[in-house]
Amino acid sequence: MTVQLQAAPPPSATSIAHADGPRLLADIGGTNARFALETGAGSIERIAVLPCGGYSTLAAALRAYLQLPELAGAGQIRHAAIAIANPVDGDLVRMTNHHWEFSIAGLQQECGFDTLLVVNDFSALACALPHLGAQQKRQVGGGAARAHAALGLLGAGTGLGVSGLIPAGDGWSALRSEGGHVTFSPASDAELAILRFAWTEFDHVSAERLLSGVGIELIYRALAHHGGRPDERLGVAEIVRRALAGECALCDQVIEAFCGMLGTVAGNLAITLGAQGGIYIGGGIVPRLGERFARSSFRARFEQKGRFVNYLAQVPTFVITAEYPAFLGVSAILADKLATTPGAC
């Protein structure tokens, strides 16, 4: 399988090479595995994106990256950190949205790393939030972030990731959350119809069942059934394409329902965390919606909390537009681990 390196963010002008050699960073989702080398603080390069389905194990994908000709001469890699779309509790990791499973200690030994950290991908992405520049995020709606206040994070892709940052002394503490699996709660008759349709396929309908790539497909089937319209069994990419091109009223209705539901879940997260520092939207789906997301019902539904509408109107919401934001977070976590006196991210 041919793997091509992706364009990397420009290195920091003040970056100093790590004295102990380059560090391996990875962001493992249910669909793609992204790898990079960090040669110095802020210098992330040699990025490659590998399809998870092309490799039998994470170790095989990692070896494929390390054996790329472009990595020749990079030197020994002693330290590595992996962000993965899965709970991480103990040594054994079994992915929820892919078939890979592995032992952290076994993977470390197999690859010869002195240090190997494996963390939840949205915990890593949460640690990236304080490092995002103005050009790496886009505000949707009003509100202004309060300094030293909690931040909330969620993002739809293969699944629905949820996390947050809580102020901890001079730094932050990232939440290890699986909030995407909370029970979905409808907020309209149309959403109740979608839920009833989903119940015909699943005993438990979580937020992730609907706010994900396969969730968009489920919403499409549900609305087609509810409206007595033909179900063309479209995939998520085609649903989004037709909606953005204005070719299909049903597809546009699906995207609108998705955005509204995401607004409700984001508002729930803001209230739960007291996230007056803002709510950030990551994942692979929303950034692709562009202006369609900005003019959707997302922000109205975010604020639609009865007596708490004024509270939420003051909380800003941002779409993360940085191409590889998780690398920033996992880099911060690894740097903290290797520091003489580690603290929060």
128 is in an annotated binding site: no
28 marked among binding-site residues: yes
**158 annotated as belonging to a binding site for a ligand:** no
Angstrom distances, CA of residue 130 to CA of 17, 133, 137, 329: 23, 8, 11, 9
Helix and strand element counts for the chain (H, E): 13, 14
Residues 6+ apart with CB under 8 A from 295: none
31: annotated binding-site residue? yes
Are residues 20 and 149 in contact, defined by beta-carbon separation less than 8 angstroms?
no
86: Cβ–Cβ under 8 A, 6 or more apart, which residues? Answer: 93, 94, 95, 96, 97, 120, 121
Residue 85 contacts residue 121 (beta carbons within 8 Å): yes
Which structure tokens are listed for 274?
Answer: 């007291």
Q: Is 151 helix (H, G, I), strand (E, B) or coil?
A: strand
Residue 306 exposure: Cα atoms within 13 Å on the Cβ side = 4
Extract the annotated binding site: 26-31
Extract the annotated binding site for ATP: 26-31
